[in-house]
A and B are shown apart, each in its own frame.
Chain A
Amino acid sequence: MTKLLKNGRQWVALICAGLTASLIVQPALSDENAELSIDGVEIVTKTAAPEDHPLDEILSGWRFRSVETQALQTDDFDNPGFTAVDYGAELWDTAEGSSGKSCASCHGAAEDSMKGLRASMPKWHEGEGTLMTLEDHINWSRKEHQGAEPWKWESSEMLAMTAYLGLQSRGMAVDVKVDGPAAEWFDKGKDLYYTRVGQLDMACSNCHEDNYGNMIRADHLSQGQINGFPTYRLKWQGLGSIHRRFSGCMKNIRAVPYKRGSDEFTALELYLAWRGAGLSVETPAVRQ
């Protein structure tokens, strides 16, 4: 008997085979086979995994959401994340700091200068000699070039700017560098991904690798991909950063989360970006 109990997946198969006539109400189901296209642009939400990858196929969180939530992302007019994108565009053109310049004064049109950036984040920064997230790059340039105060990680300004810059990579494949000086960070991130934390004693992998596709109470577990961030979460009624999501998942298992912007979360972000390599950037995605 116990030999049978390898993991939840086998059981789902058993349950589906034998006991489909369940009395138990399930929430609105998702269409895992739906394809996403936004204003005619094809978004890759499913892609084959390379050989040394822990997953057989790489799936965006979009595939696991209800049909209603999925629909919100197919049209930018319906996507509630676009209020923040508009604010980001406004900030891009606003002069600030001791330089008296706006981002646009130096960087020109974000559509050109910032294209592809999100897809490569987080990345090694030669000057600072460390791995930096998109948030880090923005604050670094505000300080170094604009002469302005850094934005707080989860401030409406930072969320708006990361959403606006992320959008410039929408549809491009996530492709991060994990070799060279980033290798150490990658290993650390991988380690954190498989470390059991909290009173519930779970690792990210227990839910997002071993059990994606399964319902955990009313939630349909995805692979925990980060290609849509910052995402608009219906529960948050607004955008949230990647590190906010990590933090929430850790709190749910009664663990003390690392700080937003910490080396730990930055390493985890790099590792997760690699796990989702080949998926399109979806920023700003919509999740429940």
Chain B
Amino acid sequence: MTKSLIYSLAVATMTFGLTAQAGTVAPDTVEIVDMEVKASLTGAAGDPGAGRETFADRKKGNCLACHANADLSEQLFHGEVGPELNGAADRWSAEQLRAIVINSKEVFGDQTIMPGFYTTDLGVRVTDKFQGKTILSAQEVEDVVAYLLTLKEN
């Protein structure tokens, strides 16, 4: 391998790394203004199919722990801590849903039990494994938002 090839490979990896980061909004720089996050965190639209899975996954969104959702009636045991999400897209815009998933406290207030899924503003004594980590990745947030937008009744 020639020196210049190694060099160009290195540059390629570097720029790839940078663009990936530049395209994704980091959790501590997300701006929630007036209960809305305007733009996609990744710059791209989410995938509602993947979002449906993240929503149900106990290790990821685990949204069913607290919310009933008729679209997932094949899953047993829907929680009742939060409101049913049937028709959520009739009540909220994409920008609002994004804000709710990113950090619900900015929308519902500090007292809410709903976790912030893309925030570093966490409780004390976070388990080592999850230190400095958000519950969902930027992509997963966008996928869940895309999925929520399919929950229409009207």
> Of all chain B residues, which has the CB nearest A199?
B130
Min CB–CB distance B25 → chain A (angstroms):
20
> Of all chain B residues, which has the CB nearest A221?
B81
Q: Decide if B125 touches A25 in the complex (CB within 8 Å).
A: no
Min CB–CB distance B135 → chain A (angstroms):
6
| CB within 8 Å of A: which B61-88 residues | 62, 64-66, 68, 70, 73, 76-84
Q: Decide if A217 touches B130 in the complex (CB within 8 Å).
A: no
Residue in contact with B123 in the complex, picked from A1, A7, A217, A253, CB distance below 8 Å: A253
List of B residues within 8 angstroms of A1 by Cβ: 91
Min CB–CB distance A196 → chain B (angstroms):
4
List of A residues within 8 angstroms of B123 by Cβ: 195-203, 253, 255
- Interface-located stretch among B38-46, B47-55, B111-119, B138-146: B111-119
User: A23 and B73 in contact (CB under 8 A), knowing A8-B82, A199-B127?
Assistant: yes
List of A residues within 8 angstroms of B76 by Cβ: 24-25, 218
Would you call A27 an interface residue if the criterion is a C-beta within 8 Å of the partner chain's C-beta atoms? yes
| Majority-rule SS of A interface residues | loop
> Of all chain B residues, which has the CB nearest A258?
B125
A254 CA to B131 CA in the complex, in Å? 10
Q: Decide if B108 touches A196 in the complex (CB within 8 Å).
A: no
Q: How many residues of A contact B (CB 8 A)?
A: 41
> Of all chain A residues, which has the CB nearest B134?
A199
Min CB–CB distance B86 → chain A (angstroms):
8
Would you call A14 an interface residue if the criterion is a C-beta within 8 Å of the partner chain's C-beta atoms? yes
> Of all chain A residues, which has the CB nearest B120?
A199
Min CB–CB distance B40 → chain A (angstroms):
23
14 contacts between A and B (CB under 8 A): A2-B108, A11-B83, A12-B80, A23-B70, A24-B68, A197-B124, A197-B125, A198-B126, A198-B130, A199-B126, A215-B80, A216-B79, A217-B79, A251-B127
12 other contacts beyond A15-B68, A23-B73, A250-B125, with CB at 8 A cut-off?
Answer: A2-B35, A2-B107, A195-B123, A197-B125, A199-B127, A199-B133, A202-B115, A214-B79, A217-B78, A218-B76, A255-B124, A255-B125
